[in-house]
Structure 1
Amino acid sequence: MILPRGQALLLPANPVFIWGSLAAAFLLQVLQGQLTAAAWLPDWVALVLVFWTIHQPLRIGVGVAFVAGLCVDVHQGVLLGQHALAYTAMGYLAVTLHRRVLWFDLRGQTLHVLPLFAVAFGLQALVRLLAGHGDPPALAWIAPLLTAALWMPATWILLAPQRRAHDPDETRPL
């Protein structure tokens, strides 16, 4: 594959780092839930799931998204399967779009992942509505926008261990 102009060659992703970042996102989600119950805050697990599903679709896919959704459902005490359905649909769409998304710069990638987060949030709202829990608060619709806005810093942080050294020498020609 030919890399787009200006894109650096990356080292292979370390599986320990991938799973550790997913665990850290879940812990951040737990901490966020303990500190405040605001519905407009970003979904950290969804952000990291979409990131790794786009960058490593053979390691993180729809099955991992389903299990992560079940874990979030159990932690938040919501209707079992609400996040699992949303994350599974989001993971499927991310796998479907992963080749296309990687060809864009970070702003273009943000515009591509925003509908994924919106679909996931919309599915969660639909499940809650069908279960009789009512509509989400109006400010809750800001959550997909905030999650997508975090795409750029998340990309910078999660790809940092894979970046190669910029000073090539005789032992490292690339």
Structure 2
Amino acid sequence: MIRAHNRFIIWLSFLVALLLMIFPLGRESGWLRPEFVPMLVIYWVLVMPQQSSLLFIWGLGCCQDLLEGVMLGQHAMALMVVAYVCLLSYQRMRNYTLWHQTFFVFVLVGLYQLVDNWVHSLQGHAAQNLIFLMPAFTSALMWPLLWICLERIRISYRVS
């Protein structure tokens, strides 16, 4: 039996997520944008934890920092926190239903947003209220759709 790896799909999915993160939105609707990069980190760590490279995730966060024009290491640190929590709990999370995973994604993306806002506050640009957690809510709403789409892609391209 020949086993296909096709890991370029992982790179391609992160490239699409980075492009979606820099897609211009209005100032008011920018808070409603789901956090695609952390959601993909959560997905790939849950599905393939042994192949998840923390060095790759750190580099991905640095690329996101460069694309968004923020302090270098800001998103990288937040992604590392998300990846670490996912690596600690991936066995438990795989057994949860999709709706329970949605709550887990809400918590993890909220944690990502908290770390991100903490770094912003160190620079003197903190959010005035809890609106910075709105992307965690929209990410959780998009999680079932993202999970189903990525599962179909992963199975059809035999990503292992």
Q: TM-score, normalised by structure 1?
A: 0.79
SS in 2 for 1:150: helix
Structure 1 residues 138 and 118: alpha-carbon distance in aligned structure 2, compared to 1, 3 A threshold: closer
Say whether the 8 Å CA contact 2:14–2:40 is kept in structure 1. yes
Structure 1 residues 111 and 13: alpha-carbon distance in aligned structure 2, compared to 1, 3 A threshold: farther
Cα offsets for 1:40-88 (capped at 9, x unmatched) = 3111111111111111112224222211111111111112111111011
Structure 1 residues 80 and 157: alpha-carbon distance in aligned structure 2, compared to 1, 3 A threshold: same
**1:14 alignment partner in structure 2:** 6
Give 5+ residue unaligned stretches, structure 1.
1-10, 165-174
**1:52 alignment partner in structure 2:** 44
5 Å-filtered alignment, 1:44-123, equals 44-123=36-115
SS in 1 for 2:127: coil
- What amino acid maps onto 2:138 in structure 1? L
Q: Distance in 2 between matches of 1:52 and 1:134?
A: 30
Structure 1 residues 55 and 140: alpha-carbon distance in aligned structure 2, compared to 1, 3 A threshold: same
What's the Cα RMSD here? 2.0
Say whether the 8 Å CA contact 2:39–2:105 is kept in structure 1. no
Say whether the 8 Å CA contact 2:105–2:139 is kept in structure 1. no
5 Å-filtered alignment, 1:115-154, equals 115-135=107-127, 138-154=130-146
How much does 1:137 deviate? 5.5
Give 5+ residue unaligned stretches, structure 2.
none
SS in 2 for 1:80: coil
Correspondence 1:36 to 2:17: no
Cα offsets for 1:62-120 (capped at 9, x unmatched) = 22221111111111111211111101101111111111100011001111222111111
Q: Distance in 2 between matches of 1:101 and 1:158?
A: 17
How much does 1:136 deviate? 5.3
Q: Greater RCO between the two (CA within 8 Å, min separation 6)?
A: 2
Q: Which one has a bigger Cα radius of gyration?
A: 1
Say whether the 8 Å CA contact 2:117–2:132 is kept in structure 1. no
